[in-house]
Amino acid sequence: MRLKAIHHVEFTVRNLDKLENFAKDFGLVAVERSDERLIMRTRGGDSYCYVANKGDGNRLLAVGFEVEDETSLDEAIQRHGARDLGAMPFGGGRGVALSDPDGNEIVLMYGVKRRKSEASYPELLINTPFQKQRFGHSQYPRETGPAQLWRLGHVGLFVKSFAATAKWYGDVLGLIGSDIYHIPGQPQVQIVGFFRLDRGDEYVDHHALAFMQDDRGGCHHISFEAQDFEAQNRTHRYLARKEYESIWGVGRHPHGSHVFDVWRSPDGARFETFSDTDLFRASDGTNYHDISTITLDEWVDDGPERYFA
């Protein structure tokens, strides 16, 4: 099975109007809206990356991945008992659906349409003590407003059994552990892990999925790529002025190295921006850590209690 990229997430939410306002302030762009459904995209060329259906609360319905070839869909049906979804209702392509050990629906798709990526702000020109690249002018101006988001990057899931989840995603989707945390003194009891796609020699994000063992199940957070930390800090200020609830950040994770900023949606879901993530190949291995040695934010001592609450 050759996965190409994580593609979208689908949820139910209680109030589509409130969610749409929040998601637009956060940086997503509405593609389609009815009384029952909201579909949103980033500016990076996806035809959609986030779907919300009107329902009785914040609940994960599906995580979608693009696969490299149509053969991978047939392989999912024949080897793993995937359900054929046929033509996808939105964005084109054909899909199949699997259930992970927690019953989350994993949709695999081939032939999904893309759109043209939009123009970004000019890249920051950073002057350090050792290298100068900005002469005779200030940084190019940017607005303080919704983030320009470029793609869905990863999803964090609460899972009932980390071991069963890691095995299933490894066996079925070929995911590879990048960093895995075990309980103090017991390397065999693993409870948190960051998993990347297997794209062979191609460099991919440090993780496309993160798993945290927790009986609550469901989605922990969804994360979209912002241009850089400048964009994240500006949007942090914008969202704070709008009196949304900041959950955690702006900070930097030790594993993946990415800069993160997490906000709560009106339905209680965690929406994250990230930038500057590490890239790994399939051959770059897996690192294991005692969870008691981990600092989750490298920049401040603000603990992650609200993040996991």
DSSP three-state, residue 24 = helix
- 8 A C-beta contact, residue 277 and residue 257: yes
For residue 260, the minimal CB distance to Fe ion (Å) is 6
For residue 293, the minimal CB distance to Fe ion (Å) is 20
User: Comparing C-alpha atoms, which of 118, 99, 107 is closest to residue 63?
Assistant: 107
For residue 125, the minimal CB distance to Fe ion (Å) is 28
Nearer to Fe ion, 72 or 178 (CB): 178
The letter for the amino acid at 227 is: Q
DSSP three-state, residue 177 = strand
The neighbouring-strand residues paired with 67 are 3
Contact positions toward Fe ion, by CB under 5 A?
A: 223, 272
Q: Which residue is nearest to Fe ion (CB)?
A: 223
Nearer to Fe ion, 104 or 223 (CB): 223
Nearer to Fe ion, 148 or 223 (CB): 223
Rounded CA separation 284/66 (Å) = 23
| β-strand pairing of 59-67 with 105-110 | parallel
For residue 289, the minimal CB distance to Fe ion (Å) is 17
User: Comparing C-alpha atoms, which of 69, 68, 76 is closest to residue 105?
Assistant: 76
Check residue 61 and give left, alpha or beta (phi > 0: left; psi -120 to 50: alpha). Answer: alpha
For residue 35, the minimal CB distance to Fe ion (Å) is 31
Nearer to Fe ion, 76 or 176 (CB): 176
Nearer to Fe ion, 110 or 195 (CB): 195
Q: Which two tokens stand for residue 243?
A: 């009196």
Nearer to Fe ion, 58 or 72 (CB): 58
For residue 222, the minimal CB distance to Fe ion (Å) is 8
Rounded CA separation 104/96 (Å) = 14
User: What stretch of H or E contains 93?
Assistant: none
For residue 300, the minimal CB distance to Fe ion (Å) is 17
Task: Fill in the DSSP letter of residue 283.
Answer: G
Nearer to Fe ion, 223 or 275 (CB): 223
